[in-house]
Structure formats: structure tokens, C-alpha cells
């Protein structure tokens, strides 16, 4: 997702702390007094989530939650805020929210909880999983797997494999790979690329070593050529 | 990039549930040393190093300045592939430094780094590919070693244990990012050879340390003893570690020349001349045990004479014919080192000898393609062919007068090594062997 998540917020207007926290964290948000208004004014892709304060006006707050949730296409990632004395209200309402926070809230706690709810969109995972056949690379966790089993790589091996796997079928020269993965200032020269490719092939094992193909007198290609069927 | 590497290592430790991180380093004699830290300590170790008592490590430091720092090299971080029920473990090689962060003179890895920097200043990156031989024996009992098989060269008996061990070893090495070029059963019983694919010398020295550890570890898991002793059996060829060497100048192999009959460049010839001129001086480092010199005898394909040839396995340097005339594969093979050496120090002195040849423009002597085992001394002298040192004592005496070796190793290691090895020689010299008892006790 290129845009930051869009949040519906209750009450309207929201407390200044809440508005500031959401602004600082970079969310798009709009406040509503009524659930129907929130639905009517939803953005094109729908709401990505909601922050609903139930501490001052619990009835209005829970009504907002119901309006967002009890639809054919319910809004996900709803965070509610309740006062400590209202914790029993959460019981039997588990379907109406995804996370909660005690009011008065601490801005950093709220920010952390929201970030966690939205980490798939906001986090470093934005690059997304790189997958090719049995190989999967997760840039968010730096982890690689082959046929579902962890593949242990050094940092440079990981970066090299990621670079190649993001562009399957494309042929790269050693110089291109070297400057993209190691940076221009790296001394080892283009032999470094060959040496790391061999190490990667060894780790991929006999069965999968051919994921990385040598293209004679040019460089390397990951996966099948785009021109062959 | 260093920060990203640290981040990567810390994240991997977390994601893979690593329970222990083993910090690896090497003492002056080439023994792998290790201490383990918990994942919680790793962040700190990567930033500032871990201090430990260096005086407990052979050759590291003097008692009065005993505390040193192990600084993990994050690029060498590898999860150890053998399964531990209590949780995975990882290893990382360390550079050893003084508390102020300056390189420790006693740390072989730092010595190799220094020599590689000297090569880099001339525009060269040093590449090494070793062919490592070793034996599998029944666990030692104090008696003579017992070979596990009686297989010959390229023997293909599928059921034998050593071959299965070798395969498992190769799988483990490859999982740890150490690519294997070839492997086979050598022509001696229970002797095996594994050839590693070439890489930069620092990575290769680390790989040799990992290699020896993995070979022994996997053998031990199956109740077998693997040994890198240079000459374990009297009448059978010993174990060498032939080193295939090349210098790269960026993408180009600086040893390759299109217009030479052997495809050897001037740089390659000067490098070879450097090795030939200084071979005797560096032999104590490449062959550092009393036992090493029992391998360097005529009749076993081990070199005895300081010479070179294209295809003569009795020579010190061989120039292999590259496959498919691949310019990247042009290289020379230095055949005297054995797998009991300290790879960091051996690569250091070999590089220094070769670079001296380039710097001074040494002239390469003529090729010696006859079998020198069949030549008598007069003939050898006529051809100007020297012998390698005949014993550790010989080698040490030659090394002692070598400013090249002193410069390459640094004064600290140079002096410590001579002291330590002299003591080893004294111990050997005063030992009364079975040979003497059998020969003299009754008859004299």
C-alpha cells in the first residue's frame, strides 16, 4: 500500500491528544459522531481501521463499532479505548474490536498498538514477500526459506539472492550486481559476485542450485528466461 | 553496510531462535578457539567486542597485557547446521584486538588482513583454493592408527562408512556456504580428499578452520577419528594441502596472459619466482610440525625440490591446465603445505613471498619437467635445484634469518613461533624412538 492507512475516529471532534498522536504517526483519519456517517463517507478502498473512544460515551462508541463491524464487508483493525472501570464492558463484545487501550491513553502506547495492527502495511514489509517456486524471502524479517524450510544465509548472500529473485528472468552483469548489492566502493571486484553465487548455489543444494543460471560472458540470471516458455 | 550486517545478524538470531552464539578465533598454532555468548550479549559484542583473557591463548599476548577483545565479523555469521535438541547455535569468526581497538599482533586473522591490505594496495585480491587431504581412523588407542577401509583411488564401494562420512561432510560444508569442487577417495587406505572452490584468502582461511572442525565433528558423531596429521602412516603417502593460487586485479585474473604458451602472465611468473626464491624460508609456517617433514620425502608425490613445472607432481609448483581454457581458472598450485598448518599464517607468508617476487621482478628459473626423484645430487646442483628443508629444525633455522617472514608475520608472532617450535623440536630430539630401540638396543 502506498498511502498511509485511513482511519475512522470516534468521537467527533476527538480529544486533542488523539488527533495529535494520529497526525504524528502519519495516519489519514476523519472523525464521525455516528456510525452511518462513517460508512457513508468511507474512502474508495473502505476504511483500513478505526479508533473508537468508549470512555466518555460508551453507548455512542460501541454503536460506532457495531456500525463498522456488522456489515457484509466489516471494517478490520478496530481499536477501542475504555477506562479502567469499563474493562468488564469488553466481555461479550470481542467481535467488535481487534485491540484495546486504556484511557487516558499514553500516546506512545497507542502509536505502538496501531503500528502493530498495521505493520503489514506500514512496516518494512512494504516490499512484500519475494517468492519464486520453492524459494521465499521475507524482507521484513530477513528470513529466507526453501520448500518451507529455513535457508540460513549471511547478510551479503541474502541481499544478493533478494536482488536476483526480485527480477526473475532478467540477466544481470557482474558489475550491475556488484554496484547494486555491494556498492561501488567495494574493493573485491566482480570476482566477489562469482564467489557469492557459488556459495548461494551450495546452500540452495543440488536440487535448486540451477535457480541461479550462469549466462556465458554476460553474468547471471535468476529463474527461467522470460523468452523461453 | 556494517550496521545493516549487525541488524541482519541480530534479527536472524531472533527469528531462528538461536540459543548460543559461538565466537570463533584461531591461536598462533592454528587451533580453533571458541567461547559462547548468549543472544542477549550479541548486540553489545557486535558493537564493542567481548573481552577475554588473551594470555590463555597460545601466542596471543603477554601476561601483563592479558585482556583482549574478540570482535565478531558479522559477515561470517552462520547458523551451525547440526541439530541440537536444546536449540540452534550459530558461529561467527572474530578479529582479536587490544582493548583500545588496535589489531592484536598475536592474532593470525589480523596478520592475514594486514598482508591482504598490502596486496590490495598494489591492486591485487588474493584468491586461494585448497585441496585438503585427511585420514579416517578408528578412535585412537595409543597404538598405531587403524585405517577404516582398504579402498584405492576412486574406489566406488558404496557401502563403506568413510565415503558416507565424506558425503555428509560435504553436505554440511555446502550448507555453511563452503562450496566443494571435487571430492574423492585418495589412493591410500582411509585417505580422503576434498577440494574447495576458490574464494578470497581471508574467507578461505576461515573456511579451512570450519572445514577441519566439520570433518572432525562429523567423524566423531559416527565414532570415527578424522586426522589432518601430515604423515600418520610410514609407508603410505601423507596428507597435503595443495593450494591453488591466483591474484585478481578487479575482474581480471592477473595470472592469465593470452599470448603465453602456458597462459601465464608476467605477474604470475614473478609471483612464482618469489615463491621459489623464498620457499625454504616460509616452509616452517606451511609445514609446522615435526611430522610434516616425514611427508616431504621422495617417492610419495609430495614435493622435495624447489622447482616448478606444468605437469610434474614431484615439483613444488605445478601449473595446471585450465579447463576449457577459462582465463579465470589460470592459477598455480603450491604443493608443499600440509593441512596441519595455520591457514592464516600460511596464506600470509605465501602471499608475501609472491608479492616480493613481483616487487623485485625476480626472474623465473627454467621449468623442471623431469622426475627429480630420479636425479642424483650432482644433477640437481647442476640444474640449480634446491631442496626444501629436511626437518623442522632446518626450516626454523632458515626462517630465523628471513626478514620476509618476519615482516609478513610481524615481530610478535615471528618470535613466539620460533620459540614455540624450537621447544617442539627439542622435545622431539630428546625422544628415544622405537626405531632406535629396535635398531641399536640389542646390536650395540
Tell me the C-alpha distance between A134 and A146, whole Å: 5
Cβ–Cβ under 8 Å, residues B169 and B214: yes
Dihedral sign from CA coordinates of A168, A173, A174, A180: negative
Query: Quick one: CA dihedral B272, B276, B277, B283, positive or negative?
Result: positive
DSSP-derived pairing of the beta strands B191-196 and B317-318: unpaired
Residues of B in contact with A202 (CB under 8 A): 173-175, 177-180
Domain span at residue B26 reads: 2-104
Question: Do A28 and A6 contact (CB within 8 A), yes or no?
Answer: yes
Which is higher by pLDDT, A224 or B327? Answer: B327
Q: Do residue B171 and residue B265 come from a single domain?
A: yes
Query: Which of B73, B104, B135 represents a domain boundary (last residue)?
Result: B104
Chain A positions in Cβ-Cβ contact with residue B178 (cut-off 8 Å): 199, 202
B11 touching A (Cβ < 8 Å): yes
Residue of B nearest to A181 (CA): B1
What local confidence, expressed as pLDDT, does residue B64 receive?
Answer: 63
How many helical (H) and strand (E) elements, i.e. helices and strands, does chain B have? 13, 16
Query: What residues in A contact B15, CB-CB < 8 Å?
Result: 141-143
3-state secondary structure of A185: coil
What does the pLDDT read at residue B66?
A: 82
B440 falls within a domain: no
Q: Give residue-wise pLDDT tens across range A139-163.
A: 888 889 998 888 999 999 999 999 9
- DSSP annotation of B129 reads E
Q: How confident is the model at residue B436 (pLDDT cuts 50, 70, 90)?
A: very high
B14 and B120 within one domain = no
CA distance B147 to B138: 7
Interface probe for A, chosen from B3, B4, B7, B8 (most Cβ of A below 10 Å), is B8
Tally the residues of chain A: 229
pLDDT given at position A133: 87
Beta bridge partners of B158: none
**Range B203-227 average pLDDT:** 94
Task: State whether residue B248 sits within 8 Å of chain A by CB.
Answer: yes
In angstroms, what CA-CA distances link B168 with B53, B81, B219?
36, 11, 10
In angstroms, the CA A176 to CA A162 distance is 14
CA-nearest residue of chain A to B120? A187
* Residue B301's pLDDT band (cuts 50, 70, 90): confident
* pLDDT tens readout for residues B28-80: 999 999 999 999 999 999 999 999 988 888 888 766 668 899 999 999 999 99
The answer as to whether B277 is a domain residue is yes
Split at pLDDT 50, 70, 90, the class of A130 is confident
CATH architecture of A127-222: Orthogonal Bundle (1.10)
Last residue of a domain, one of B81, B104, B127: B104
* Residue B82 and residue B135 share a domain: no
* Number of A–B residue contacts, CB under 8 Å: 81
Is B407:B345 a contact under the CB 8 Å cutoff?
A: no
B8 in contact with chain A, both atoms CB, cutoff 8 A: yes
Q: For chain B, how many structural domains are there in total?
A: 2
pLDDT score of A121: 58
Task: Tell how far CA B82 is from the center of its chain.
Answer: 24
In a domain, B90, yes or no: yes
Of the candidates B9, B120, B199, which has its C-beta nearest A187's C-beta?
A: B120
Residue B94's closest CA among B221, B192, B206?
B206
Mean of the pLDDT values across residues B196-202? 94
Contacts of A118 (CB under 8 A, 6+ apart): A5, A48, A49, A77
B153 pLDDT exceeds 50?
A: no
Shortest Cα distance from A130 to chain B (angstroms)? 17
C-alpha cell at A2: 502506498
Is B21 contained in some domain?
Answer: yes
Residues B83 and B119 in one domain: no
> What pLDDT was estimated at residue B369?
76
Q: What is the largest CA-CA distance in chain B?
A: 73
The grid coordinates listed for A82 are 475504555
* CATH number belonging to the domain at A6-122, selected among 3.40.50.2300, 2.60.120.10, 3.40.50.150, 1.20.1250.20: 3.40.50.2300
User: Is the model's pLDDT at A124 over the cut of 50?
Assistant: no
B20/A contact by beta carbon, under 8 A: no
CATH no. for residue B136? Answer: 3.30.590.10
* % pLDDT > 70, chain B: 94
Q: Are residues B208 and B348 in the same domain?
A: yes
CB atoms within 10 A of CB B102: 10
Q: How far is B387 from chain A (nearest CA, A)?
A: 36
| Residue B64 belongs to some domain of the structure | yes
**Nearest by CB: A203 against B16, B174, B200:** B174
B interface mutation test: which of A143, A152, A186 has the most B CBs within 10 A? A152
CB pair distance less than 8 Å for B127 and A191 = yes
* DSSP codes, B191-212: EEEEEEPPEEHHHHHHHHHHHH
Reading the block at residue A228, the C-alpha cell is 523461453
User: Residue B146 in contact with residue B232, Cβ under 8 Å?
Assistant: no
Query: Of A218 and B21, which is predicted with more confidence?
Result: B21
Listed in sequence order, the DSSP H helices in B265-402 are 266-286, 292-295, 343-360, 377-383, 392-400
B130 and B35 in one domain?
A: no
Q: For A141, which of B15, B77, B328 is closest by C-beta distance?
A: B15
The dihedral sign for the CA sequence B83, B88, B89, B92: positive
In this structure, the answer to whether residues B53 and B147 fall within a common structural domain is no
Does the beta-carbon distance from A152 to B12 stay under 8 Å?
A: yes
**Domain endpoint, select from B85, B104, B123:** B104
Please check whether residues B203 and B131 belong to one and the same domain. Answer: yes
B77 and B183 fall within a common domain: no
Using a CB-CB cut-off of 8 Å, the residues of chain B touching A157 are 177
Chain A positions contacting chain B at CB under 8 Å are: 141-143, 150, 152-158, 174-175, 183, 187-192, 194-195, 198-199, 201-203, 205
Would the CB atoms of B11 and A142 count as touching at under 8 Å?
Answer: yes
Q: Which regions of B122-187 does DSSP assign to beta strands (E)? A: 125-137, 180-185
Shared domain for B173 and B39, answered yes or no, is: no
pLDDT digits (tens, 9 = 90+) for B374-414: 777 788 787 778 899 999 999 999 999 999 999 999 999 99
Which residues make Cβ contacts (< 8 Å) with residue B154, sequence separation at least 6?
B184, B185
Identity of the residue in B77, B125, B177 whose CB atom sits nearest the CB atom of A189: B125
One domain, residues B358 and B228: yes
Q: What is the enclosing helix (H) or strand (E) of B334? A: strand B332-334
Q: Is residue B443 part of a domain?
A: no
What CATH number has the domain bearing residue B61? Answer: 3.10.20.70
Q: Which residue has the higher pLDDT, B367 or A3?
A: B367
- pLDDT on residue A228: 47
Instruction: Assess whether B206 and B317 both reside in one domain.
Output: yes
Amino acid at each position: 500500500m502506498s498511502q498511509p492507512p485511513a482511519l475512522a475516529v470516534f468521537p467527533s471532534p476527538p480529544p486533542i491528544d488523539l488527533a495529535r498522536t494520529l497526525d504524528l504517526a502519519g495516519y489519514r483519519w476523519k472523525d464521525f459522531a455516528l456510525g452511518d456517517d462513517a460508512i457513508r463517507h468511507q474512502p474508495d478502498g473502505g476504511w483500513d481501521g478505526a479508533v473508537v473512544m468508549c470512555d466518555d460515551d460508551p453507548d455512542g462508541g460501541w454503536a460506532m463499532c457495531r456500525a463498522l463491524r456488522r456489515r457484509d464487508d466489516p471494517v478490520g483493525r478496530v481499536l477501542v479505548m475504555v477506562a479502567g472501570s469499563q474493562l468488564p464492558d469488553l466481555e461479550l463484545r470481542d467481535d467488535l474490536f481487534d485491540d484495546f487501550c486504556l484511557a487516558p491513553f499514553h500516546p506512545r502506547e497507542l502509536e505502538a498498538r496501531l503500528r502493530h495492527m498495521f505493520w503489514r502495511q506500514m512496516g518494512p514489509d512494504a516490499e512484500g514477500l519475494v517468492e519464486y517456486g520453492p524459494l521465499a524471502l521475507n524482507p521484513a524479517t530477513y528470513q529466507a526459506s526453501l520448500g518451507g524450510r529455513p535457508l540460513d544465509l549471511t547478510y551479503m548472500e541474502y541481499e544478493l539472492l533478494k536482488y536476483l529473485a526480485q527480477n526473475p528472468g532478467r540477466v544481470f552483469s557482474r558489475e550491475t550486481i556488484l554496484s547494486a548489492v555491494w556498492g561501488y566502493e567495494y574493493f573485491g571486484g566482480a570476482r566477489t559476485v562469482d564467489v557469492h553465487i557459488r556459495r548461494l548455489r551450495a546452500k540452495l543444494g543440488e536440487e535448486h542450485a540451477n535457480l541461479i543460471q550462469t549466462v556465458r560472458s554476460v553474468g547471471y540470471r535468476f529463474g527461467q528466461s522470460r523468452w523461453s516458455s | 553496510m556494517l550496521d545493516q550486517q549487525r541488524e541482519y545478524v541480530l534479527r536472524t538470531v531472533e527469528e531462528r531462535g538461536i540459543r548460543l552464539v559461538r565466537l570463533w578465533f584461531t591461536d598462533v598454532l592454528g587451533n580453533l578457539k571458541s567461547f559462547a555468548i548468549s543472544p542477549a550479549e550479541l548486540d553489545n559484542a557486535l558493537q564493542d567486542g567481548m573481552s577475554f583473557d588473551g594470555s590463555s591463548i597460545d601466542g596471543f599476548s603477554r601476561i601483563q597485557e592479558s585482556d583482549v577483545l574478540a570482535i565478531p565479523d558479522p559477515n561470517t555469521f552462520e547458523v551451525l547446521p547440526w541439530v541440537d535438541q536444546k536449540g540452534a547455535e550459530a558461529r561467527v569468526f572474530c578479529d582479536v584486538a587490544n582493548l583500545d581497538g588496535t589489531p592484536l599482533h598475536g592474532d593470525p586473522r589480523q596478520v592475514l588482513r594486514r598482508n591482504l591490505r598490502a596486496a590490495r594496495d598494489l591492486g591485487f585480491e588474493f584468491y586461494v583454493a585448497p585441496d585438503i587431504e585427511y585420514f579416517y581412523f578408528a578412535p585412537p588407542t595409543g597404538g598405531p592408527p587403524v585405517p577404516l577401509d582398504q579402498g584405492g583411488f576412486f574406489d566406488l564401494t558404496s557401502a563403506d562408512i568413510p565415503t558416507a562420512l565424506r558425503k555428509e561432510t560435504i553436505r554440511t560444508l555446502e550448507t555453511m556456504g563452503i562450496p566443494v569442487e571435487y571430492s574423492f577417495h585418495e589412493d591410500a587406505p582411509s585417505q580422503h580428499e576434498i577440494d574447495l572452490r576458490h574464494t578470497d584468502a581471508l574467507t578461505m582461511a576461515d573456511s579451512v578452520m570450519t572445514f577441519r572442525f566439520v570433518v572432525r565433528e562429523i567423524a566423531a558423531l559416527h565414532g570415527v577419528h578424522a586426522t589432518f596429521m601430515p604423515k600418520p602412516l610410514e609407508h603410505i603417502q601423507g596428507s597435503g594441502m595443495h593450494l591453488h593460487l591466483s591474484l585478481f586485479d578487479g575482474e581480471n585474473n592477473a595470472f592469465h596472459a593470452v599470448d603465453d604458451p602456458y597462459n601465464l602472465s608476467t605477474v604470475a611468473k614473478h609471483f612464482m619466482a618469489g615463491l621459489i626464491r623464498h620457499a625454504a624460508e616460509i616452509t616452517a609456517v606451511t609445514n609446522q610440525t615435526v611430522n610434516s617433514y616425514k611427508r616431504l620425502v621422495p617417492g610419495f608425490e609430495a614435493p622435495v625440490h624447489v622447482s616448478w613445472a606444468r605437469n610434474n607432481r614431484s615439483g613444488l609448483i605445478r601449473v595446471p591446465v585450465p579447463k576449457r581454457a577459462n582465463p579465470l581458472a589460470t592459477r598455480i598450485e603450491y604443493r608443499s603445505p600440509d593441512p596441519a598448518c595455520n591457514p592464516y599464517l600460511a596464506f600470509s607468508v605465501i602471499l608475501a613471498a609472491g608479492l616480493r617476487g613481483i616487487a623485485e621482478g625476480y626472474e623465473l628459473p627454467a621449468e623442471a619437467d623431469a622426475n627429480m626423484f630420479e636425479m642424483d645430487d650432482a644433477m640437481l646442483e647442476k640444474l640449480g635445484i634446491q631442496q626444501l628443508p629436511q626437518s623442522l629444525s632446518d626450516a626454523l633455522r632458515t626462517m630465523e634469518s628471513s626478514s620476509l617472514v618476519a615482516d609478513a608475520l610481524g615481530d610478535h608472532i615471528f618470535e613466539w613461533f620460533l620459540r614455540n617450535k624450537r621447544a617442539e623440536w627439542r622435545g622431539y630430539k630428546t625422544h628415544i624412538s622405537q626405531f632406535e630401540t629396535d635398531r641399536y638396543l640389542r646390536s650395540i
